[in-house]
Structure 1
Amino acid sequence: MPRIIAGYVRVVDAVNYRIGRTVMYGVFVMVAILLWSSISKTFFMPSLWTLEAAQFAMVAYYVLGGPYSIQMGSNVRMDLFYGEWSDRRKAWFDAFTIFFLIFYLGVLLYGAIDSTSYSLEYGERTRTAWRPYLWPIKVAMCVGFFLMLLQAFSEFFKDIARIRGEAL
């Protein structure tokens, strides 16, 4: 593989690995928010912000952890036939099907950017009593979709290298 592609794969994998390893601790943030919610409902006045904050933390956890999941191969796959195939045949199949993922992520990113620009322009808020701004979580979604798109291209290049019998 050309050095520029190998460099691209190395950089994207490194960035997504570090972000994924950092974001995986977001589950503790969610647990802390939900624990505070339970404590405040039992002993104090119920907090208005806990449910939405936990939802925002969960969205950031999933979306920013997605590229790491793709990189580690822990995404869901139908293994009825796939599990029995050779590595080369798996690479051919993955190299073909990755285009569906790239298209899907492109549509998601396009919609997320449009929605984020709307939120920033009009100061969009939720319709709850807490009324937080929506743009921070929408920006996180845009970043997550973009990183997943970069990781999908990285996986495509790795599949091409496997088909050619090269190590990347």
Structure 2
Amino acid sequence: MLQQTANTINHINRILGISVSYATILMALVTCTIVVLRYGFNLGWIAMQESVMYLHAAVFLLGSAYTYQHNAHVRVDVFYRQFSERKKAWVNLFGSLLFMLPVSLYIGIICFDYVLDSWRLLEGSREPGGLPFVYILKSFLLLFAISLVLQAISDIICQGLKLAGAQAKQEAR
């Protein structure tokens, strides 16, 4: 049951991470288009420039849980890389319990009203000709927090099961 829950969370964040990775290609294409239009034809659109910001936010915020899932996040591993698998599991378990989960919950809690207010107003860009979807941009904050909370739960489950399995193997000897 626990492993199935972790697998479901991992699957959701995997789909989200892979989906948002395509936004990097789109972001590069839009950026190139902006540069060509601006310097080649002396044309520019605020909406196009803002779309790069939206894509960047999506890549960073919605891809974070996927990065965490694949252990590709920044880690100071002066000692970690030399640890046994069991010690690594303990570090990961405590890191998820004491840092990732509380910080992600805190981010979700503090940005909830901020995002909700933006949706109430259907907030748009302050710039003339800008995108009218600032409320969607701000929603990425909540999705960021939710996906990281879920991934932290998945990691806690996986590390706990890993440690329980190692304990069961030691007791069987």
TM-score by length of 2: 0.87
Q: 2:70 is matched with which residue?
A: 72
1:26-45 → structure 2 map (5 Å cutoff)? 26-41=23-38, 42-45=40-43
Of 28, 44, 47, the residue aligned with 2:45 is 47
Aligned match for 1:87, one of 85, 88, 96: 85
Matches within 5 A, 1:9-158: 9-41=6-38, 42-99=40-97, 100-132=99-131, 133-158=133-158
Q: Supply the AA of the counterpart residue of 1:14.
A: H
**TM superposition shift of 1:18:** 1.4
CA–CA distance in structure 1, aligned partners of residues 108 and 8 of structure 2: 21
| AA at the equivalent of 1:103 | P
In the alignment, the residues of structure 1 paired with residue 95 and residue 12 of structure 2 have an alpha-carbon distance, to the nearest angstrom, of 24
Amino acid at match of 1:151: Q
Q: Distance in 2 between matches of 1:65 and 1:123?
A: 25
Secondary structure at the aligned position of 2:46 is classed as coil
Q: CA deviation at 1:44?
A: 4.3
Would you tell me which structure has more helix in proportion to its own residues?
2
Superposed CA RMSD: 1.5
Q: What amino acid is aligned across from residue 123 of structure 1 in structure 2?
A: L
CA contact (8 A) 1:112 1:142 kept: yes
**Structure possessing the higher radius of gyration over alpha carbons:** 2
Q: Offset at 1:163?
A: 1.2
| Alpha carbons 1:60, 1:141 under 8 Å: kept | no
| Aligned residue in 1 for 2:169 | none
Distance in 2, matches of 1:102 and 1:90, equals: 18
Note the alpha carbon deviations across 1:99-129, whole angstroms, 9 max, x for none. Answer: 2111111111112221111101223333323
Q: Which consecutive unaligned segments of at least 5 residues does structure 1 have?
A: none
Letter in 1 for 2:113: D
Give the partner amino acid of 2:31.
L
Aligned residue identity for 2:87: R
Matched residues in 2 for 1:44 and 1:53: separation?
A: 19
Q: Percent identity?
A: 21
2:63 counterpart SS class: helix
Q: What is the SS of the residue equivalent to 2:44?
A: coil
Q: Normalising by structure 1, what TM-score?
A: 0.90
SS of the residue aligned with 2:30?
Answer: helix
Q: Distance in 2 between matches of 1:108 and 1:38?
A: 35
Structure 2: state its 5+ residue gaps.
Answer: 167-173
